[in-house]
Chain A
């Protein structure tokens, strides 16, 4: 069997599917964080890259400089990210809201926060790429004919658990309902006695959890530099645009779709072209689907959901 035919072997296709799903995990987490903030705060929150960088470097310092156990390092990473996020909301975003600043100014402010954080972390930690743990190799087992690493399992489980928890929270909890109400109309929600400021804080807190979890998964697989999160954010932005702005579920489906598309593309195109696919989709979406594709609505229209 030649190597082209061998690539179409079911075992290879299953491996691409599994690895693609596992790799999409942290992208899905970043996308959820970005899409939720966009939905509730109506904010293109590029400062999320700064929060992601803080999460990673605090965990990195706890593990490598202070020899903290992983759970404690993750807790510290989350605490630091949350503290930075709340400071950003209270000192920055609220000030801009009070001044009724334009959307453009909000956007620029988020970018400035992101760049400022990257610079500050560069000064503290330098620019040498560092992984979260000294070893990046994860033990692997063969399930059927598919290689499944511990990292893959962890990534998929963490993403599923957090995704389901968020869905339940939004559907079943009072605060979750308030978030959805504020996302529909903050002014109207306030007329009904819902505290929009609190809803913003809750949305940013949830985004911090997802950003921190995503950076834990990403950093335990590969080395990170302070500017890396901004590149990762681009994927989240494209997935959010593609999935339909304001639709968290759409953004999640788009993130998984893009990830799998990139993975399967190696069957047709050379590996170095994989990155281009994202930009092609961004280009097509902005030109032809300015409000996003809304995968959920598309599936419903096709009678598949």
Chain B
């Protein structure tokens, strides 16, 4: 057998090209990988585990229908504990060991902490649930599929002033990334609407006694109280508020849309206003089926239902991006996943409807306001 010089050069060229590709072009039979970094343990795990379950259902559903052009979607899940340092470790592993071209994560502190890695490594980071407005400014490779706090917090602040006729408000917020940014947004929106924020007070994330702060509220006697904390502290703040005799109507954000709050507070939860950034069971038949599926499989509604809807939709978005890449015959790199995100631009999603990726790294969605009435969350208004 003899080799011609031209054949040898061709083979060498092909080998060099193959070696130059960081991830070879989506070879037949190869799974289409992406990462999911969420809190599976720690104080936020009640949310995190349900969100991971929702994402896994979506992956299973996509694969059951034949995957993406016949290829299976594969989700690699790692724990962040909602802790920035643990999140950094998880994302480093997703990128360097699992070689994913894109990953999904949540919780503002984690999303911010891992953003420099995504930008440096040119790996697409999809923030699904972090609400800090700063998420929109974290770099070229960080996009959110979830409306940021300025969307729902602005809606609830404006609604309190314009529709409920509240003229002054107290804003109580947890002293971390989740609370600080959102509290600023609420204050700005409420004052822009013509109201006045008379108490603006942060509390320590480790606090269990909020009476001092609440006595300031009692002294100022506002019409409305907005609490922007985590699911672990919102019920306690509200309980201690009622115990001190404060009867003002309370609003919070999507974290408050949790049946455990009503269970823990009983009658004290009546009138609580929460936001949801995803359609409810009456707004979309797919959501009704999804909630029924939860009831059948887990015997309950998921913690933070709207968040889980977005997490269900995240793998669907990734699948649509992979579909775009396959059609373009492009290798699965982070840079190309970003191109795919902007190339698809308009995603049809089963649980949250249409999502358009905005060049400003934001998404606009309607805000659904709900209130607790007779121990259940009922629709109050839809804004936007």
Contact = CB atoms under 8 A, between A and B. Distances in A.
A231 interface: yes
B238 to A, nearest CB: 9
B175 interface: yes
B42 interface: yes
20 contacts: A3-B199, A3-B216, A3-B219, A6-B219, A19-B209, A20-B209, A129-B232, A134-B263, A135-B265, A136-B236, A137-B239, A222-B208, A222-B236, A223-B235, A263-B212, A271-B203, A271-B213, A272-B203, A274-B207, A274-B212
A142 B245 contact: yes
B376 interface: no
B209 A23 contact: yes
Given A9-B219, A128-B46, A266 B264 contact: no
A263 B243 CA distance: 16
Contacts of B263: 134-135
B202 A128 contact: no
A275 B206 contact: yes
A129 B43 contact: yes
Given A3-B198, A122-B41, A12 B215 contact: yes
Nearest to A131: B264
Interface in B194-241: 198-199, 201-204, 206-213, 215-216, 218-220, 232, 235-236, 239
B266 interface: yes
A138 interface: yes
Contacts of A12: 215, 218-219
Contact of B243 (A131, A140, A231): A140
Contacts of B218: 12
Nearest to B210: A271
B45 A127 contact: yes
B99 interface: no
Interface of A: 3, 6-7, 9, 12, 15-16, 19-20, 23, 122, 126-129, 131, 134-138, 140, 142, 147, 149, 218, 221-223, 225, 231, 262-267, 270-275
B167 interface: no
A19 B211 contact: yes
A111 B217 CA distance: 41
A147 B236 CA distance: 16
Nearest to A5: B219
A137 B242 contact: yes
B245 A223 contact: no
Contacts of A131: 264
A282 B119 CA distance: 42
Given A3-B216, A7-B215, A271 B207 contact: yes
A104 B42 CA distance: 30
A15 B41 CA distance: 38
Contacts of A267: 212
B175 A272 contact: yes
Given A137-B266, A223-B235, A271-B207, 4 more contacts: A3-B220, A223-B236, A272-B175, A274-B204
Nearest to B242: A137
A134 B243 contact: no
Nearest to B170: A3
A225 B41 CA distance: 11
B44 to A, nearest CB: 9
Given A7-B219, A263-B211, A271 B43 contact: no
A138 B239 CA distance: 8
Nearest first, the 10 A-B pairs at minimum CB distance are: A266-B212, A6-B219, A3-B220, A272-B175, A19-B211, A271-B213, A272-B202, A128-B46, A275-B204, A23-B209
Contacts of A9: 219
Contacts of A138: 239, 243
A266 B235 contact: no
Contact of A15 (B201, B207, B244): B244
B237 to A, nearest CB: 11
Q: Of residues A9, A129, A138, A140, which shows the largest number of chain B Cβ atoms within 10 Å of its Cβ?
A: A129
B268 interface: yes
Contacts of A270: 201-202
A265 B211 CA distance: 12
A199 B215 CA distance: 46
B51 to A, nearest CB: 14
B212 A271 contact: yes
A135 B213 contact: no
Contacts of B42: 127, 225
Contact of A140 (B203, B208, B219, B245): B245
B235 A7 contact: no
A142 B242 CA distance: 12
Contacts of A20: 209, 211
A267 B213 CA distance: 9
B366 to A, nearest CB: 31
Contacts of B210: 271
Nearest to B215: A12
Contacts of A6: 219-220
Interface string B263-279: 11111100000000000
B216 A136 contact: no
B233 to A, nearest CB: 9
A28 to B, nearest CB: 14
Contacts of B209: 19-20, 23, 262-263
Given A3-B219, A272-B203, A272-B204, A15 B211 contact: yes
A240 to B, nearest CB: 20
